[in-house]
Chain A
Amino acid sequence: DAGVTQSPTHLIKTRGQHVTLRCSPISGHKSVSWYQQVLGQGPQFIFQYYEKEERGRGNFPDRFSARQFPNYSSELNVNALLLGDSALYLCASSLGVSQTQYFGPGTRLLVL
């Protein structure tokens, strides 16, 4: 069975640009969460979506936004990229809001 998939695997952008990251959850999972992992640190929560509705938001600026589609896949958008946005962006899927979260391989974003 396929696990959580994310695309692209790597991405290089320049400051001020916009980026869209994509995630497909495990089949049957209806909740997707996004995390940012800076090198050497643990992942930090950005958003959680369930049934296309935002269920939680972490302490990130409004430049970060997300949405979930009817097929439960999700996009994370980041506007006006800063050097500090360079990180591994992880998507996690779960059956529901309170169930175990399974992570994808991540998208490594480098902002120059």
Chain B
Amino acid sequence: GENVEQHPSTLSVQEGDSAVIKCTYSDSASNYFPWYKQELGKGPQLIIDIRSNVGEKKDQRIAVTLNKTAKHFSLHITETQPEDSAVYFCAASGVTGGGNKLTFGTGTQLKVEL
């Protein structure tokens, strides 16, 4: 089955700096890659997603890049703000006979310091 690895596990940046979180996946059949932000005591909130027919997608301060050959995708947050502090999860999926199962990475605790 699919395996998603995520790095780093913790990331501390100064307000205004950029943050980059990287993920790799194992199943070449995966074709959908969402990123979720989870704040303490809440469910994961979708922040951006990308499908395998696109190499890059941007939404204001957030961007995601995908390298299908390397099976690698990354989240980029620019001009970080204190409210960006949370745990971020990458995930991968592909619709198969087993439904659209999202396989998550282990999460990155992002801390934006003033």
Contact = CB atoms under 8 A, between A and B. Distances in A.
A25 interface: no
Given A42-B104, A42-B107, A100-B49, A56 B43 contact: no
A103 B44 contact: yes
A56 B89 contact: no
A56 B21 CA distance: 29
Given A42-B105, A42-B106, A44-B104, A56 B46 contact: no
Interface string B36-70: 10000011111001000000000000000000000
Nearest to B89: A42
B100 A98 contact: yes
A45 B4 CA distance: 13
Interface string B66-83: 000000000000000000
Interface string A11-38: 0000000000000000000010101000
A45 B106 contact: no
B95 A97 contact: yes
Contacts of B106: 41-42
B101 A98 contact: no
B5 to A, nearest CB: 11
Nearest to B105: A42
Interface of B: 4, 6, 32, 34, 36, 42-46, 49, 89, 91, 95, 98-107
Interface of A: 4, 31, 33, 35, 40-45, 48, 50, 55-58, 90, 92, 94, 97-106
The 6 A-B pairs at the shortest CB distance, nearest first, are namely A56-B99, A42-B104, A48-B99, A55-B99, A103-B43, A45-B101
